[in-house]
Structure 1
């Protein structure tokens, strides 16, 4: 009797274990753009089971008409990725979003022209047409132009701007090179799309904003004050801050793996990106486009604090420089509230101070 009871108990325990192991905390993450290697670390973390190892069931929400700020602020998503300018302007508008981890430590923003246009420095942009993106994505261009004393048609208070801004929806083939002299392009995406349009790199003049002191930080992780203050996140028994730390820890692990194993990471991305793998306007294959992108985003991740073993850390000096720059442009009216950034999540995630 005792032996049969023991066997029965063992069988019941074995049957129950998988179910209990599947009690993962559901977490929704809104990425800033369509699935691509820009988010390789997230996809690798999911594929490798890093999120599950932290007890999380992570779902990436598809990009829609709403920005990540709106999606997270309304509670449709728990966490999101965005750029520093988006986050700080949202705080200025009273939206209680909070920076929790900085993934890209260097700006990938560029302005691209044909070498035949003869532009050598940003000072040469006077009188030219510059293609910019809408919805706050024009700020790096505006900052670069202002540094060289140039005004744009985006400023309604200027009667005779020195640069004509042409807003376009992220596909350089729509405007370049016929309708603009320079076009906005991220190193990891639109630059390669321009190459795919039939303009090889040796025919292009690429102006990296970061080379001219315009290093407005891009891909970061954020959430809301409400989520961080939640003492029982979705009934998990864990605080929102603890869940955030688990999410950041697994994501950084995914990024570290992706950067060190780029070929494998690209294959993981290709499974997730579907029709967006090739990138709009490019003549290249999906694999070549994502391989280029993975190579370039690895450079943005492997910079600054990451090189000092502090991946995901927002360098206070860089943050201060970003705030100062945005204030000089009139984009920010005052310093952001201290609550706009928290280091508690990063410290919990990494065990570092």
Structure 2
């Protein structure tokens, strides 16, 4: 009888502990897809639960995640480094806490018949770009090669006509633009799916042309990091951030090592966006392509040295210099734009 009572008490205690999981909202930088496989794997495998977190992964589409996190609608988010630093420049107290992708996947894709194989070939052309802060890689690539675009209202006779489009290449490619923005893991495959095989395309990688702006990172606000009692949990914002990051890195490491399983987990979550807009590929086929390409961006740089999630200071400074030299940033961001304390707490390692 006594054992039964003790067992019941233990079960009740466990149930209460589960009920007390800290609610955390994470704003993803697009719709659910393999780009965020590590997050979905961490959720499906119970890695967040093991850290005492009840994580909600929020889609956003073609808007910037900065606003939802800055206003407190979400607690953490993913975005690109240029988006984060330009937001800091505008006075938003967002803070970089981890760098998931260590290599840029941004490209400009054109038909080989257009003879666009290097940035200089874009002179006088129409280039498809994305809205909401996602145009910066194209702007940087043009500026680095002494070209202007119609995105700059102060320029009367721009070198390039920018055509803003909402991420579906079929809306503009190839009739309305000469080259179109495309991520290696997403739009490149969508364009192939539209009936343009890789051997008929020129894929100009921005990183190969001096613009290696870092992409998917994790961020939050200074307010969250300074919180002493996050949502009444008894944990500080720093502690919650470290728990979130530790589980997320575990999810990413598993996803990259077990890509087929990770794709199956993603397919459960991505619904109508699984196929990718504009592609003829199957949902599973597109997400499999995406997972393989995403793995290349994650498994590079510090990740190969056992430091997944680490923002290499030299790479960061190179990004800052590029953005300031191009005038995208007016000055170097303050030290508060990046913190290594969350990564150190999550991994037990020291930043270099």
Q: Same fold (TM over 0.5)?
A: yes
> Which residue of 232, 249, 274 corresponds with 1:252?
249
Q: CA deviation at 1:137?
A: 1.1
1:299 aligns with 2:296: yes
**Correspondence for 1:208:** 205
Tell me which residue corresponds to 1:10. 6
8 Å Cα contact 2:23/2:55 also seen in 1: yes
Count the aligned residue pairs: 349
Match of 1:283 among 280, 283, 295: 280
State how far apart, in whole Å, the 1-side matches of 2:130 and 2:294 are.
20
Which of 5, 12, 17 pairs up with 1:21?
A: 17
Stretches of structure 2 that go unaligned for 5 or more consecutive residues are none
Q: Which residue of 2 aligns with 1:323?
A: 320
Give 1:8 shift.
Answer: 5.4
| Residue of structure 2 aligned with 1:122, choices 119, 131, 135 | 119
Displacement after TM superposition at 1:337 (Å): 1.2
Q: Provide the residue aligned with 2:193 in structure 1.
A: 196
2:51 corresponds, among 50, 54, 59, to: 54
Alpha-carbon separation, structure 1, partners of 2:62 and 2:181: 21
Indicate the larger mover: 8-17 or 186-195: 8-17
Decide which moves more: 141-150 or 255-264.
141-150
Name which one, 1 or 2, has greater alpha-carbon Rg. 1
| Higher mean C-alpha deviation, range 265-274 or range 234-243 | 234-243
Residues 111-120 or 206-215, more deviating: 111-120
Q: Distance in 2 between matches of 1:66 and 1:104?
A: 20
CA deviation profile, 1:301-347 (whole Å, cap 9, x unmatched)? 01111111111000111111111111122221111111110000000
Superimposed CA distance per residue, residues 2-25 of structure 1 (whole angstroms, 9 cap, x where no aligned partner): xx4x34531432341331331211
Whole-angstrom distance in 1 between the partners of 2:116 and 2:77: 37
**Distance (whole Å) between structure 1 residues aligned to residue 3 and residue 99 of structure 2:** 51
Q: Provide the TM-score with structure 1 as the length reference.
A: 0.96
Partner of 1:181: 178
Structure 1's consecutive aligned runs of 4 or more residues displaced over 6 angstroms after TM superposition are none
What is the CA–CA distance in structure 2 between the aligned matches of 1:70 and 1:208, rounded to whole Å? Answer: 29
Q: Deviations over 1:102-127 (max 9, x none)?
A: 00011110000111112221111111
| Residues 54 and 113 (structure 1), Cα distance of their counterparts in 2 relative to 1, 3 Å cut | same
Question: 1:81 aligns to what SS in structure 2?
Answer: strand
